[in-house]
């Protein structure tokens, strides 16, 4: 079997599963205006699409020499409100309903995924290596926090007139100090 045949077989299976989930989701979307509870079919569709998009973009990033996590993050951005919600809001809301029960189900799975990621990270940690490079790692991390903090404080404390092209412009209304309002005296 060639690799292209396996990919086409995987795509056909994925499309068949998506089709089955869409056909099964009809009753979940049929309720008009009534309060509906969590839909397991929609939840399975969410999981299937998230895992397929994460896997595909992860593999694509691996092929171009990037970490697969980068592709998985990109899949989340593409399926989230930033891209899909802006380009196709009704499709994004159909795939990820805003109901609290539906959000609770996907949040539980995401928390479980984070737990597994941390568990795997802990299992792969080499304590001998940590002892060997511990001092260097701590110093680099402290410098990586201290330098941006010091730069931010330094820039933030400079007077406004020191910045180019902003001295003559009026301040935005949210930077202007509020004038005290006069209250009528009560006797």
Kindly state whether residues 55 and 96 are assigned to the same domain.
Answer: yes
- Domain assignment of residue 9, yes or no: yes
Please report whether residue 2 resides in a domain: yes
- 2-8-12-13 Cα dihedral, nearest 10 degrees: 50
Q: Which structural domain range is residue 131 located in?
A: 126-157
- Cβ atoms of 60 and 72 closer than 8 Å: no
21 and 89 share one domain: yes
Per the listing, tokens 């008009």 go with 32
Q: Are residues 90 and 150 in the same domain?
A: no
- What total number of domains does the chain contain? 2
In terms of domains, do 111 and 147 share one?
no
Last residue of a domain, one of 89, 117, 145: 117
The reply to whether 77 and 100 lie within a common domain is yes
- pLDDT tens for residues 43-70? 898 999 999 999 999 999 999 999 998 9
- Between 26-40, 89-103, 155-169, the lowest mean confidence (pLDDT) is in 26-40
In this structure, the answer to whether residues 13 and 94 fall within a common structural domain is yes
pTM score: 0.54
């Amino acid at each position: 079997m060639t690799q292209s045949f396996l990919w086409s077989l995987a795509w056909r299976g994925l499309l068949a599963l998506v089709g089955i989930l869409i056909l099964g989701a009809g009753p979940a979307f049929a309720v008009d205006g009534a309060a509906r509870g969590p839909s397991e079919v929609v939840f399975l569709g969410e999981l299937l699409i998230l895992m397929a998009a994460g896997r595909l973009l992860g593999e694509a990033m691996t092929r171009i020499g990037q970490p697969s996590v980068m592709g998985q993050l990109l899949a989340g951005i593409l399926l989230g409100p930033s891209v899909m919600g802006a380009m196709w809001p009704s499709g994004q809301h159909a795939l990820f309903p805003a109901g609290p029960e539906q959000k609770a189900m996907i949040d539980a799975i995401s928390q479980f995924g984070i737990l597994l990621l941390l568990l795997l990270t802990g299992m792969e940690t080499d304590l001998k290596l940590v002892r060997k490079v511990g001092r260097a790692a701590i110093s680099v991390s402290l410098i990586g926090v201290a330098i941006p903090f010091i730069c931010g404080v330094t820039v933030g404390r400079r007077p406004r007139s020191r910045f180019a092209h902003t001295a003559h412009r009026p301040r935005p209304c949210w930077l202007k100090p509020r004038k005290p309002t006069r209250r009528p005296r009560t006797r």
